[in-house]
Amino acid sequence: MTELRPLIDKIRRLLDSRAADPGGDVTEVEHTLTDGYAIALQLEGERVRIERRMAELARTVEHPE
């Protein structure tokens, strides 16, 4: 899974640079937004896999045969 720290650091740098130059290039902001969406989808997929595994384990505990 992709680490969140580099994305968060990049967002902070972008926010700082946008504060200094609000009319700056938006391409990097758009790419960062896309990266963030990709990470969010990875996290959502992991959440779904964990929930399924938990349900599977719960069924095993309830019916250990």
User: Which one-letter DSSP state was computed for residue 53?
Assistant: H
Which tokens is 21 given?
């130059």
Q: Quick one: pLDDT at residue 2?
A: 62
User: How many CB atoms are located within 10 Å of the residue 22 CB?
Assistant: 7
Residue 11 CB partners (closer than 8 Å, separation 6+): 32, 36
pLDDT at 65 > cutoff 80: no
- H/E segment holding residue 45: helix 27-62
Mind listing the pLDDT tens digit for each residue in 6-52? Answer: 999 999 998 888 877 877 778 888 999 999 999 999 999 999 999 99
Helix (H, G, I), strand (E, B) or coil at 64: coil
